[in-house]
A and B are shown apart, each in its own frame.
Chain A
Amino acid sequence: MATTVGSADEDGDGGRAGTDALGRGDEDGGRAGVRAAGSRAGAAAHRRRRRQTVVAYLFLTPSLLFFAIFLFLPLLFAVLLSLSRWAGFDLADIRPVGTENFAALFARGSSFLTPVLSNTLLYALGTVVLALTGAVLVAHCITNLRFQGLWRTLYFLPIVTTVVAVGNVWKYMYEPGGLVNGVLNALGLRSVAFLQDPATALPSIVVVQAWASLGSAILVLTAGLKAIPRSYYEAAELDGAGQFTVFTRITLPLLRPSLLFVCVTQFITGLQSFALITVMTGEGGPGDATSVAALEMYQRAFKYGDWGSASAAALVLFVLILVITLVQLWLFRRKGEDA
């Protein structure tokens, strides 16, 4: 009986079973039997569910372990280091210093806020604006061309080329006697010290980063363009809408999910990247004109043995990326796009 009531309780109708037991005893036997059979079935189902849950967790264990070891533990370690001082050699030498590392990052005279963070934002923003604009235009053109696969492949090539190769080729092109300056000279203009002048160094690298990331953006946007039903364009044509109107009133609004994806991923990539900068300007020079947060973190940790401030900088960058991503999602949602 206890089992029956207990099982009924589990099903949420224990109160009703009690009333039945007090008022109509003759029917109790049959009903109790039915209930007992039902509760046995329920218990079996419950056991099955539990077994399934255990099996599901067993299947999930490798992934969970992977995330625990390569994501959660390093994150925890980074938080720990951001509140400590450590030279990177001996784990027993980690000394807690509270929020000192964060205070030092934003102290007066520190280069982290400007130019490092400001360079990072300009680099990411410049890359996103250039890559997105270029990708929208190119993707739009590609969808109206023959041999679309060929064009997509051509534009995708920089993605499968290593950053070192891309950076070095562009570096030679930017050099005083390089291709770009050769063209300028042929046009009667003076040479520009693209990577040597602090005013032009960062924009020059932004152009390369945007060029290198154009391929993936085009791939996503062409898929987005193909998903727009033809009927909308036909209706617009019947209404006499021009090319520009069709592009701004139909193509762009319906492309918003793809644009959101490209925008968010490119921005995150831009905020985190430093490989191209290392290849093209070495240590963030001239001066610190091309110094960005990820490069600064790397140098603080592996070059200066200052893991505490490097981890603090990493967490600041993490928060920055989170905030920027949330702002982008909010902006797109306001326009009616579900992320």
Chain B
Amino acid sequence: MRRRRVLAGLAGAAVTAAGCGAPGRSGSGRPGDPVVLTLLSHYATEPLESALQRAVDAWNAGHDRVHVRTTAVRFQDLLTTLMVRQAAGQGADIIHPYSLWAGQLAQAGVVRPAPPEDAARIDRGFARAAVRAASVRGRIIGYPTEVQSYALYYNKRLLRAAGVDGPPRTWRELEETAYRTARRDRHGNTLVQGFGLSRTDDATVVNQTLALLASRGGSFLQADGSRSALGSPAGRAVFALERRLIDRGASDPGIDLMKAFPAGRVAMAVSGGWWTGSLKQTMGRDYRDVAVAPVPGPAPGNRGTVTTGFLLGVNAKSRYPREAWEFLRWLNDEVVPAGPRAGRAAAVRATRMSVLQMSVGTMTGRTRDMRGLLAAGGDPNLGPFVDALDYATPEPNGPRAQKAKALLRKNIEQMWTGRLSPDDAVRKAVHQVDQELSR
């Protein structure tokens, strides 16, 4: 114990001497002055930044005693910022982490379980998958805000051109449609991918694979999160499917899916609900060619996919946890009229966060809010994502989830590039992930 104290002291001296050791402050601390809560999120780009700021401004206008100040960084910098500020005693009162990091943050003592009253509200008000994504070892640690379920995007024009009437409902149909829609030039360059496989980052590579895995009834980890479950027949079947699609020229992971799909050069792809907003903005009028369907299963009617998302939690070191939870309840649990910004949604009632998410083309895990807002004029392409919340599986979020995901990505990519056979890739991924989880 003494040794640990000495180590911490030395480390503290190092950081303090480096000028980073000033304690975090929320408000002036003088009697009568309002409490100022800081909120760190990744809503650093439009329209997300303005949408969150509008909600915070509304809170600040109606609450003299507690004010909220937002700080936004790019998603790529969110974990680093969170880490560095926390170590320097400058952690924000309210944090907005990716649910994948929940276990890591809980283990490091950055977030604590939600108060019983809030936990009960979250448990009652949100879809099961959203609640599980915001929980660590069965204990809810924050309000699920943005929820992303995965579904099949398809380009109706490309499918029609290949003589395919509707979206595939089974894996067999998915493969047939992919082969029929794919086109290459005489040099072997891909003109149209039948089924796009994204290689952008861990999230896209792994989540599209986990969605297909869930559609076949499989999962990445066992229920208790202690070992990999990828070695199942479902795991091997998904890896084999992706390899087949590449070998037969229907997929080309070398092409950036995020650019190729909006350009009308990909017939189908599995991605999260957030993509609808981005596609709408990028594609303009061509967005009418885009439609969404559930991820096909091995047989018609088989359903399964994966969800991920973000949660709003209170920093364990915040001096004002009560006020922070009060703000989060106001934002995530109080039901209000949806307001004129949602167009015809004036008669609909939903939480402020649901309205905020719908206004930027994403959604919360409140299925009822989402269905109401969609019926009142939301993008119909979001429908399958809302439906998916009823049967989706949240991605694992244990303390070593990020590393396990990175290991899985590397093995998937090695399988895609032919360095490993599908079976070898499954075996290697299982071995590495188990080794990592046992640490």
Report A's interface with B, CB cutoff 8 A. 68-70, 73-74, 76-77, 80-81, 84, 87-96, 109, 175-177, 181, 185, 190-191, 193, 195-198, 282-283, 285-289, 299, 302-306
A306 to B108: give the CA distance in the assembly, Å.
11
Known contacts: A283-B409, A286-B417. The answer to whether A195 contacts B14 by CB under 8 A is no
Interface pair B108/A109, CB less than 8 Å apart: no
B-side contacts of A282, CB under 8 Å: 199-201
B83 at interface (Cβ–Cβ under 8 A)? yes
Interface pair B417/A91, CB less than 8 Å apart: no
Interface pair A305/B108, CB less than 8 Å apart: yes
Interface pair A287/B410, CB less than 8 Å apart: yes
Interface pair B417/A196, CB less than 8 Å apart: yes
Known contacts: A185-B187, A191-B189, A193-B254. The answer to whether A198 contacts B417 by CB under 8 A is yes
A90 to B11: give the CA distance in the assembly, Å.
10
B253 at interface (Cβ–Cβ under 8 A)? yes
Among candidates A89, A177, A191, A285, residue contacting B410 with C-beta atoms closer than 8 Å: A285
Interface pair A90/B109, CB less than 8 Å apart: yes
Write the nearest CB–CB distance from A300 to chain B, whole angstroms: 8
A-side contacts of B400, CB under 8 Å: 304
Write the nearest CB–CB distance from A279 to chain B, whole angstroms: 12
B431 at interface (Cβ–Cβ under 8 A)? yes
B-side contacts of A289, CB under 8 Å: 417
Known contacts: A73-B14, A198-B417, A287-B413. The answer to whether A96 contacts B7 by CB under 8 A is yes
Interface pair A93/B108, CB less than 8 Å apart: yes
A190 to B80: give the CA distance in the assembly, Å.
42
B383 at interface (Cβ–Cβ under 8 A)? no
B-side contacts of A87, CB under 8 Å: 104, 107-108
Known contacts: A84-B7, A302-B83. The answer to whether A286 contacts B199 by CB under 8 A is yes
Interface pair B416/A88, CB less than 8 Å apart: no
Among candidates A69, A176, A181, A286, residue contacting B17 with C-beta atoms closer than 8 Å: A69
The contact sample of 27 A-B pairs, CB cut-off 8 A, is: A73-B18, A76-B10, A77-B14, A80-B10, A80-B14, A87-B104, A88-B86, A92-B4, A94-B8, A94-B11, A109-B435, A175-B255, A176-B189, A191-B187, A191-B189, A193-B254, A196-B417, A197-B417, A282-B200, A282-B201, A283-B202, A285-B409, A286-B253, A286-B417, A287-B413, A287-B417, A305-B83
Interface pair B7/A286, CB less than 8 Å apart: no
Interface pair A286/B86, CB less than 8 Å apart: no
B110 at interface (Cβ–Cβ under 8 A)? yes
Interface pair B201/A299, CB less than 8 Å apart: no
Interface pair A93/B109, CB less than 8 Å apart: yes
B411 at interface (Cβ–Cβ under 8 A)? yes
Known contacts: A191-B187, A191-B189. The answer to whether A304 contacts B413 by CB under 8 A is no
B-side contacts of A96, CB under 8 Å: 3-4, 7
Known contacts: A286-B199, A287-B417. The answer to whether A90 contacts B108 by CB under 8 A is yes
Interface pair A89/B431, CB less than 8 Å apart: no
B-side contacts of A181, CB under 8 Å: 189
Write the nearest CB–CB distance from B32 to chain A, whole angstroms: 32
Known contacts: A84-B7, A304-B403. The answer to whether A90 contacts B87 by CB under 8 A is yes
A-side contacts of B201, CB under 8 Å: 282-283
Known contacts: A87-B107, A185-B187, A282-B200. The answer to whether A92 contacts B8 by CB under 8 A is yes
B-side contacts of A94, CB under 8 Å: 4, 7-8, 11
Interface pair B435/A303, CB less than 8 Å apart: no
B-side contacts of A90, CB under 8 Å: 86-87, 108-110
Q: Which residue of A lies closest to B188 (CB)?
A: A190
B381 at interface (Cβ–Cβ under 8 A)? no
A89 to B95: give the CA distance in the assembly, Å.
13
A190 to B187: give the CA distance in the assembly, Å.
5
Interface pair B8/A91, CB less than 8 Å apart: yes
B-side contacts of A176, CB under 8 Å: 189-190, 252, 254-255
B406 at interface (Cβ–Cβ under 8 A)? yes
Write the nearest CB–CB distance from B437 to chain A, whole angstroms: 13
Interface pair A285/B199, CB less than 8 Å apart: yes
Known contacts: A74-B18, A80-B11, A191-B187. The answer to whether A283 contacts B406 by CB under 8 A is yes
Interface pair B254/A89, CB less than 8 Å apart: no
A283 to B76: give the CA distance in the assembly, Å.
12
Write the nearest CB–CB distance from A202 to chain B, whole angstroms: 13
Supplied contacts A87-B104, A287-B419, A304-B403, 4 more A-B pairs, CB within 8 Å: A73-B14, A87-B107, A91-B87, A286-B413
Interface pair A303/B431, CB less than 8 Å apart: no
Q: Mark B391-419, 1 if CB is under 8 A from A, else 0.
A: 00000000010110010011101101101
B372 at interface (Cβ–Cβ under 8 A)? no
Among candidates B10, B110, B414, B432, residue contacting A198 with C-beta atoms closer than 8 Å: B414
Q: Indicate the member of B12, B17, B79 with the most A CB atoms within 10 Å.
A: B17
B347 at interface (Cβ–Cβ under 8 A)? no
B375 at interface (Cβ–Cβ under 8 A)? no
A81 to B4: give the CA distance in the assembly, Å.
12
Among candidates B4, B82, B83, B406, residue contacting A299 with C-beta atoms closer than 8 Å: B406
A95 to B6: give the CA distance in the assembly, Å.
11
Write the nearest CB–CB distance from A308 to chain B, whole angstroms: 11
A274 to B214: give the CA distance in the assembly, Å.
35
Q: Mark B84-127, 1 if CB is under 8 A from A, else 0.
A: 00110000000000000000110111100000000000000000
B-side contacts of A76, CB under 8 Å: 10, 14
Interface pair A73/B17, CB less than 8 Å apart: yes
A303 to B405: give the CA distance in the assembly, Å.
11
Among candidates B110, B255, B406, residue contacting A304 with C-beta atoms closer than 8 Å: B406
Among candidates B187, B202, B414, residue contacting A286 with C-beta atoms closer than 8 Å: B414
B44 at interface (Cβ–Cβ under 8 A)? no
Write the nearest CB–CB distance from B301 to chain A, whole angstroms: 36
A-side contacts of B17, CB under 8 Å: 68-69, 73
Q: Which residue of A lies closest to B110 (CB)?
A: A89
B-side contacts of A305, CB under 8 Å: 83, 104, 108, 402
B15 at interface (Cβ–Cβ under 8 A)? yes
Interface pair B253/A196, CB less than 8 Å apart: yes
Write the nearest CB–CB distance from A121 to chain B, whole angstroms: 20
Interface pair B411/A287, CB less than 8 Å apart: yes
Known contacts: A84-B7, A191-B188. The answer to whether A91 contacts B83 by CB under 8 A is no
Interface pair A303/B199, CB less than 8 Å apart: no
Known contacts: A84-B7, A94-B4, A196-B254. The answer to whether A287 contacts B414 by CB under 8 A is yes
Write the nearest CB–CB distance from A232 to chain B, whole angstroms: 52
Q: Which residue of B lies closest to A87 (CB)?
A: B108
A-side contacts of B190, CB under 8 Å: 176
A231 to B19: give the CA distance in the assembly, Å.
57
A-side contacts of B188, CB under 8 Å: 190-191
A89 to B411: give the CA distance in the assembly, Å.
29
